[in-house]
Amino acid sequence: MIQEIAKRVKKPTPKFFKVVRNIGLALASISGVILAAPVALPVGLITAAGYIAVTGGVMGAISQMTVEGGE
């Protein structure tokens, strides 16, 4: 099963999912900057940044494993 996942990740990703992956990575990066900020930020912003980091990571992972064509 792990080998099948590795093969899927190496296959070409459709253009739409490349865009979704990049948006997910951007969201994860921005939320990482917010979480690592050296100043005190409101609790709501920190909580939202945590959720956005998870969402961005899932978007990136799912989009990367989407491949063109069928088996």
pLDDT tens string 13-63: 899 999 999 999 999 999 999 999 999 999 999 999 999 999 999 999 899
Q: How many CA atoms lie within 13 A of 69 on its CB side?
A: 4
Question: How confident is the model at residue 32, as a pLDDT?
Answer: 94
How far is 3 from 52, CA to CA, in rounded Å? 30
Domain segments of the chain as ranges? 2-64
Question: How confident is the model at residue 53, as a pLDDT?
Answer: 95
pLDDT tens string 51-61: 999 999 999 98
Instruction: Report which of residues 18 and 6 the model is more confident about.
Output: 18
Structure tokens at 22: 């990049």
